[in-house]
Structure 1
Amino acid sequence: MSKQEKDSLISLLFQADTEDQRYRSGMQEVQSKYGGDSPEMKTLLRKMTVADSINLIKISSILDHYGWLGPAAIGSQGNATLFMVIQHSDIKAQEKYLPMMRDAVQKGNAKARSLALLEDRVALHHGQRQLYGSQVIWNMKTNKYQLAPLEDPDNVDTRRLTAGLPPLKEYLSVFGLEWNVEQFKKEAAANEADFFKRTPGTPH
């Protein structure tokens, strides 16, 4: 890869990163102020969907041509952007590039903690519980964040440690949630039934 080609890719990835976060950065404020089912939230989501679709076209062209480029080729931020765009894409793209990302992690070209997030998202889409507890949704009934269904909650922190993720308690505190494993298990059946029978709120 020539220097000019490399610089062009890094510039494209920087722009993609900016667009990826343009609407997400204000999502929590809009949800809290107007509600997850409000006209304001729907407008924000429509704009975000358009931006995500455009980003996916750009990133897919890179992945299909070069494979999953590591930080040595496109920098740490560029490498992170590859993941973020796929993480925020539709399930078809996520499933297409999941094997490529698994291989990239083995080669040191992607981070295990990022792969864990993608694994969780794909699992939930297929009606399975997530393994790492990375996916938090907005519950439109309570107007609060909620942890999506989780497999074997007693051992989640062991799995998170292996993937390079912080303890679940620390992660959930960012969303104003407290982690109580016994309480989670008591409420799991009802929460899972509700989660899988409806279209969940916007995942993080």
Structure 2
Amino acid sequence: MKNHLFLAISIFYIISIPSYSQNQSNNNFKEEAKTIEELAIKSLKIRQQVNPESEDQELIKEMKYLDSTLLHKVPIFLNEYGWKSKKEIGELANMGLFLAIQHSSTEEMESFKEILEQAYYTNKIEKSKYALYIDRLRVRNKMPQIYGTQYYYDEESSSFRFNKIEDFENVNKRRRKVGLKRIEKYAKQNKIALD
């Protein structure tokens, strides 16, 4: 009888331990995704107040702090869970993953390239976001952008200008493939000179 009781208790623990650790892992995943979501919301709110001519150093400082905090959390999350789609973690947490990478240093952006490529090819990241990532990385590496998503403020002309675009004549074909509007419309909405 004692042997049967010991066996029953042993089986109960063997069965319940993996279930407990799986629940714990699921809770950690949800908590980490929620933290990334909250940081993304704060970052997006501040970004709405900061523009290229902004001189509010406190806002810029807070934005940089949020960027670095997000960037600290994102690699840990990605190493543990991989890239998660909007459906898996929610739109804002997914945006947080992207924002952290998009506003990191060139070296850090490069380190995420394989993860983002895999997310792109498995449809876990929007094509338009992937295009933004590719363009920014190329511009930072002093290469012409492909999709025409990156621009800068030109002090001399006091206007926004596109960074160099590869094969400009076909840029709208490439933009259409990734779900971006025509470059002329994008330029008009963002007051970017097209000359």
> What TM-score, normalized to structure 1?
0.76
Q: How many residues align?
A: 172
Q: How large is the Cα RMSD of the aligned pairs?
A: 2.0
Q: Does 1:100 align with 2:111?
A: no
Q: Residue 47 of structure 1 aligns to a residue in which SS?
A: helix
Mapping 1:161-200, distance limit 5 Å: 161-177=176-192, 179=194, 184=195
- CA deviations on 1:41-96 (whole Å, 9 max, x unpaired) are 55543432222111100112111221111223202232222112211111111101
Which range moves more in the overlay, 56-65 or 71-80?
A: 71-80
Q: CA deviation at 1:132?
A: 0.4
Q: Aligned residue for 2:17?
A: none
- What residue identity is the alignment partner of 1:139? D
More relative contact order in 1 or in 2 (CA 8 Å, sep 6+)?
1
Q: CA deviation at 1:11?
A: 1.4
Mark the runs of 5 or more structure 2 residues left unpaired by the alignment. 1-21
Q: Does 1:144 align with 2:131?
A: no
> What TM-score, normalized to structure 2?
0.79
Q: Aligned residue for 1:200?
A: none
**Rg comparison, structure with higher value:** 2
Mapping 1:31-180, distance limit 5 Å: 31=53, 40=55, 44-177=59-192, 179=194
Q: CA deviation at 1:141?
A: 2.9
Residue 43 and residue 150 in structure 1: after superposition, are their counterparts in 2 closer, same or farther (change >3 A)? farther
Match of 1:10 among 18, 33, 45: 33
Mark the runs of 5 or more structure 1 residues left unpaired by the alignment. 35-39, 185-204
- CA deviations on 1:18-57 (whole Å, 9 max, x unpaired) are 23224321123x72xx6xxxxx255543432222111100
Percentage of pairs with the same residue: 23
Q: Residue 112 of structure 2 aligns to a residue in which SS?
A: helix
- What residue identity is the alignment partner of 2:127? A
Q: Distance in 2 between matches of 1:20 and 1:70?
A: 20
Q: Residue 23 of structure 1 aligns to a residue in which SS?
A: helix
Q: Distance in 1 between matches of 2:36 and 2:65?
A: 17
Which range moves more in the overlay, 47-56 or 161-170?
A: 47-56
Cα contact 1:23–1:48 (8 A) shared by 2: yes
Q: Distance in 2 between matches of 1:145 and 1:23?
A: 21
Q: Distance in 2 between matches of 1:127 and 1:8?
A: 39
Q: Distance in 2 between matches of 1:147 and 1:15?
A: 32
Q: Aligned residue for 2:44?
A: 21
Q: Residue 127 of structure 1 aligns to a residue in which SS?
A: coil
Q: Distance in 2 between matches of 1:47 and 1:6?
A: 26
Q: Distance in 1 between matches of 2:30 and 2:63?
A: 27
Q: Distance in 2 between matches of 1:152 and 1:94?
A: 24
